[in-house]
Amino acid sequence: MDQIFTAAFLVPLFAAGVRMGAPLVFGSVGDVLSEKTGVMNIALEGEMLIAALLSFMAAYSSGSLLAGVLVGGFAGLVSALVIAFWGISRRQDQSVVGIMFNIFALGFTNFLYRATFGVRTDRAGVEILATIKIPVLSDIPYIGEIFFQHNILVYLAFIGAVAVWFVMKYTKFGLQVTAAGENPKAAAAAGVNVVRLRYTGYMFSGFMAGIGGAFLSLGNVGTFTENMTSGRGFICLAITILSRWNPLFAVIAAFLFGTVEALQLRLQAMGADLPYQFFVALPYIVTLISLVIFGRNIRAPKDLGNVYNKESR
Amino acid sequence: MKAIDSMRSGALLRRVGIVLLSVLAALALGAVFLIILDVNPFTAYYYLLVRPFSSLNSIGEMTIKMVPILIVGIGVSFTFQTKLSNLGGEGQICLGAIGMTLVGTSSFAQAVGGWYIPVGMLVAALFGACWAGIAGFFKTRFKASEIITTLLLNYIAVQLLSWCVYYPLRDTAGNIPQSAPVAATLPRLIDGNRMNLGLVIALVCVLVYWVVMKRTKFGYRLRVLGGSIKAATFGGISKKKYYLIVMLISGAFAGLAGSIELAGTQTRLLEGLAGSYGFDGVVASLLGMMNPLGVLLSSVLLGALSIGAETMQVRTGVSSLFLNVLEALIVLFILLGFSFFGSGSRRKSKKEKEGE
């Protein structure tokens, strides 16, 4: 225990928590906006996974990490567009469509990766995104190392969250988003195009998930491994609920979950006296317990998950 | 599960037509993927679709794959009937398998031999039910989305199973992380064929599902709860109670499936035992539109495809998980087909609105 409560342990731990939380920020902040319009992005997991692979393939073949990240975002966006066609335009059950997309993504990435790279032990790899030290701020003791010595996507995750928060709170668009998620019929009566708004929200969520997926392959390890999202998409959905649909709270929750992940890796490496399976399961256990403890009596957007039917007024 | 409402309306012929066309469309799109990656789709589909039916032996293998899918699918169907989703099949299978191993490797099993099996199955069903019950309890008590909780529980159960085979249940005789073999395996139905008693149990499960849904007050209430029957009186039905019960039932089925996979096929507890049976069950239930016969036929199809996918992987190098792609596409195309051609899809959505 003495080993844990030292700056030498805690500062790198929190820094890693911020880094590992960043993909969760992308996933959950996008989902917050989407859920505010009334559509839950159950397919987050699949979108992230597909983006993780395609961004890696793009970076690997072009040699450009920027191209990789952009392809990741685009892959997420296109995935979301396809799902939105089923869930919004064709008014199919959003959870069924999302679950099916996740199954599709698991098979598709596995199939595509093996067909492209074959089954071999030496994994193809790329450089990971470079660390950018923010001048001045990164020199602050402790705080600098925790928050200001990361790759570009970590900063973008934070900026993105603040931007979404601002848009939701202070713009007319934000007001329309809330209206579409609370009472789409009233919103439509007031001249809001609910379908277009839900498409926008959902595709934004897909784009963000795509960047989050690109972060997993290009920001952390520089390679793709099968099913590398391993449930992060579902953790993002839980974060959305825990944040009470507030992007800023989502950032805090994501960084906490990132820290849990970083902690379990460190405890494993330290050879703590518990079986490693406990540590691997820890992030999921923590998510489950926080959902129960902090997730009760939270009021979701009223029309969340419902099919919007323009014709049936 | 509003989507399923529209899937269940319309004439039988039209429904079958939409399903068949969806399967063809999924295969066609899958073929495009294969061609892009320079694989001959005809070769791949031969191993995937034709080979599984080519001999009695492979039909036996097919039933072995089909049984867990079918039993999980029946369990999932119970939850879909009430518009709840149990996506935790994988985790509940793990728990069932752990339960079966505990009984099957105990000194009790050594003493009674094959007679431990019914006891083991009961324990397995209980374990599976408890695991699903966690999600059910969180749903009814804390309103936690069962979609998220059942999925999270999968990841935890997989680690729990891993821990079991590494530590308390590990067979110390070998170096591989796996349990000791169970005292006896499920009896086989035909000599020289791996088809086992699990098949009979699975068919009984289908029968039980059919009887419960169509012939009992309980089943009727589930259907009222799910909105597939218009009922004037909703009174007297405690939603929470039924949500919890239905999750327990569904978990029990998945646990039973785990016990059959363990005692019939694997004979030892080992990592990865649940395979993709959990989600295959969900697909079977959706594909069969929660109709007993439909789920049965879908499970036969998925079981055959699973065997075919393994052969395909060996012969052509295409990942066996390519099957996931096809499964998902089939269900998605069916949904799409019904949204365009399912009679009464508009009428249904109107009714739905009145109900709310």
Q: Are A158 and A251 in contact (CB under 8 A)?
A: yes
Reported as type and span, the H/E element at residue B88 is none
pTM exceeding 0.90: yes
Mean pLDDT for A198-220 is 96
Pairwise CA distance, residues B329 & B29, whole Å? 8
What pLDDT, on the 0 to 100 scale, is given for residue A126? 87
Q: Torsions phi, psi of B148, nearest 5?
A: -70, -45
Report which secondary-structure segment, H or E, holds A216.
none
User: Which pLDDT score is estimated for B235?
Assistant: 62
The full length of chain A comes to: 313
Q: Mean pLDDT, to the nearest integer, of A18-42?
A: 96
pLDDT tens per residue, range A135-166: 888 889 888 889 999 999 999 999 999 999 99
- Best mutation target, A50, A94, A99, to test chain B (most B CBs within 10 A): A99
Question: Residue A257: its pLDDT value, please?
Answer: 96
CB-count exposure of residue B345 (10 Å: 0-12, 13-18, 19+): buried
pLDDT digits (tens, 9 = 90+) for B39-66: 899 999 999 988 888 888 888 889 999 9
pLDDT recorded at residue B78: 96
| Interchain CB distance below 8 Å, B155 and A281 | yes
CB contact under 8 A, A96 and B3: yes
What is the distance between the alpha carbons of residues A111 and B312, in angstroms, rounded to a whole number? Answer: 12
Q: Is the torsion defined by CA of B302, B303, B306, B310 positive or negative?
A: negative
- pLDDT at position B350: 39
- The pair of three-digit structure tokens given for residue B61, joined into one six-digit string: 């293998």
CA-CA distance, A288 to B156, in Å (whole number)?
A: 10
Q: How far apart are CA B331 and CA A54, in angstroms?
A: 24
pLDDT at site B175: 85
Ordered by start, the domain boundaries in chain B are 1-30+318-348, 58-306
pLDDT, position B231: 61
Interface predicted TM-score (ipTM) of this complex, two decimals: 0.92
| Chain centre to alpha carbon of residue B58 | 21
Residues in chain B predicted with pLDDT less than 50, given as ranges, are 2, 232, 344-356
pLDDT tens column, B280-328: 999 999 999 899 999 999 999 999 999 999 999 999 889 999 999 999 9
Q: Which amino acid is at A64?
A: S
Q: How far apart are CA A254 and CA B351, in angstroms?
A: 41
The whole-number pLDDT of residue B348 equals 42
User: Considering the domain A7-117+150-294 in this protein, what is its CATH number?
Assistant: 1.10.3470.10
pLDDT at B343: 56
Print burial letters for B90-121: b (CB count within 10 Å at least 16), e (below 16): bbbbbbbbbbbbbbbbbeebeeeeeebbebbb
Strands A131-133 and A149-151: antiparallel
* Cβ contact, residue pair A90, B282, below 8 Å: no
What is the C-alpha to C-alpha distance for residues A202 and B346, in angstroms, rounded to an integer? 24
| Alpha-carbon distance A115 to nearest alpha carbon in chain B (angstroms) | 7
Contact A197, A37 (CB under 8 A): yes
**pLDDT score, position A25:** 98
pLDDT for residue A138: 87
Weakest-pLDDT range from A101-115, A212-226, B51-65, B294-308: B51-65
* Residue B69 CA from chain centroid, whole number: 4
Residues, chain B, total?
356
Q: Is A237 exposed, middle or buried, given 0-12, 13-18 or 19+ CB atoms closer than 10 A?
A: buried
Q: Which residues of A touch B3 (CB under 8 A)?
A: 92-93, 96-97
Query: Looking at residue A2, what is its pLDDT?
Result: 66
Option in A95, A288, A292 nearest B147 (CB)? A95
Do the beta carbons of residue A83 and residue A97 sit within 8 Å?
Answer: yes
Contacts with A291 from chain B: Cβ below 8 Å: 138, 142, 144, 148-149
Confidence at residue B353, expressed as pLDDT on a 0 to 100 scale: 39
| CATH code 1.10.3470 for B58-306 | yes
Q: Look at residue B311 and give its three-state secondary structure.
A: helix
What confidence score (pLDDT) does residue B345 get? 44
CB distance from A108 to chain B under 8 Å? yes
Residue B336 one-letter amino acid: L
Residues of chain A contacting residue B314, judged by C-beta atoms under 8 Å apart: none
Residues of chain A found within 8 Å of residue B319, distances taken between Cβ atoms: 107, 110-111, 114-115
pLDDT at B230: 63
